[in-house]
Amino acid sequence: MTATIETLVAEQLATYFENQTMTPTLTELKAELTADLNEAALDQVQAGRTPAAAVATAFADFGDIETVITQVEAENGPTTTEVEPPVMTVNENGVYVNGGRTLKADANGVSIGDGAVKADRNGLKLGKLVMNEDGISYGDQTKEMPDWQSTVAPFNLGLAYQDNLRLANEQRFSAIELTMLTVSYRSARVKVLPTNDDSDDVIIREYMQPNNPAYYAHCSETGTNLTVTQGKVPFLIPLRVHVQVLVPASFTGDVTVASKSGTVLIAGLSSVKTLALKVASGNAELADLTVQTTTVDLASGSLKMGHVQVTDQCRLLVRSGRVRLAQVSAITFTVKATSGSVTGNDLIGAGDWQAHSGALRLAWQQLTGDLNLDAHSGAIKVSLPATASYRYELESHSGRITTPTRAIRDRVADGYQTGTVGANAQYQIHGRAHSSSIKLS
């Protein structure tokens, strides 16, 4: 039976490659297709189909093989473009490419294309466009910076269920006794959403192209834990996977999501105890959530949170990328961005905020505790309600400090200021900017 399957797959697959120049890449692709189609056809035989019907179903489910071949050729084909190698000089003063005309990076900043693009202590210059903390200018025309306190439109949960790929796989598991849900994907677009019916099941829906049972998720139940792990990811075959993990409203356990490459959306959940998200590369969005504790670890990409209520701790670590929050509340925030800016609007809470390479721009609706702010190479801008009352201690190593006009200043020195705003100051704001300015308003 296996030999018959292999023969039928080989004969049908050969028709797709008969007019191709078999490069090493296409040879490897053909071998990978052969293995995957054989495996899919054998699954069909075990389901009761004849060998011929099983092979036909495997090819039909897989999709357009000619498109796969064309895409792999385009992505891995040889290139005939010859580029003259640049002349690079590296010394104690900096890095120079083609005598500094192409690239110059030294203590004064970075210049590309004889200064067409330039970044230094005066801001960022793109041709005639200049952006710095004073605003945006183009030639002789100057405009103020965009309003970073602008409101965010409500999240449309209904659109999140729509998908442009064909549904390939659906699995259901009872959530009645479930306490832990773990989702792990290597390369996919992952959405964790509430069930849109009265079901008490966790539903796994995988939309994919091409379609092969070998690519389906592996799901396992151990005690009260459910683990969902992505199936096989082919080496050359361009696979697109969109997964929806639907969680019933009755689920009050913990959710952990891990993604190696791809986007992640978690939205609409209101009873989850602990939410943990880890993304190696890709963008993540949390929207319309109520959780007890949230932990996000994002290695490369951006993080967006909107309309999120955390009743205890909110811990966010983004190593490379922007953090944008809108209408987010937590008892305590612990936010750290290694490379990228942090922007927050309509915030409620307190805690520690740190940006190593980027600015901190935070607009607070309500301050409920002490606030510690640290920006290593960017500005700190904090906006609080006019009725807010607090003490502050601000330190800027190489920039100016601006505080509200109603502030009572206790001590003012070069790059240092303490004082009080309001008559009933309960909380302390401590801000430190190592190489830029601080503004409280």
Q: What was the pLDDT predicted at 94? A: 80
Sketch the domain layout of the chain as residue ranges: 2-75
Residues facing 438 on adjacent strands:
380, 401
Bridge pairing between strands 94-97 and 274-279: unpaired
Q: What was the pLDDT predicted at 79? A: 43
Cβ 261 vs Cβ 280: under 8 Å:
yes
Q: How far apart are the first and last CA of the chain?
A: 77
- Burial tier of 82 (Cβ tally within 10 Å: 0-12, 13-18, 19+): exposed
Query: Comparing 110-119, 337-346, 352-361, 425-434, which segment has the lowest mean pLDDT?
Result: 110-119
Q: What was the pLDDT predicted at 150? A: 54
Q: Give this prediction's pTM.
A: 0.78
Q: What is the pLDDT of residues 352-390, one digit of tens each?
A: 999 888 889 999 999 999 999 999 888 899 999 988 999
Q: What was the pLDDT predicted at 146? A: 45
For residue 210, cis peptide bond before it (omega within 30 degrees of 0): yes
Q: What is the pLDDT of residues 212-246, one digit of tens each?
A: 999 999 999 999 999 999 999 988 888 899 999 99
Q: Is the model's pLDDT at 80 over the cut of 50?
A: no
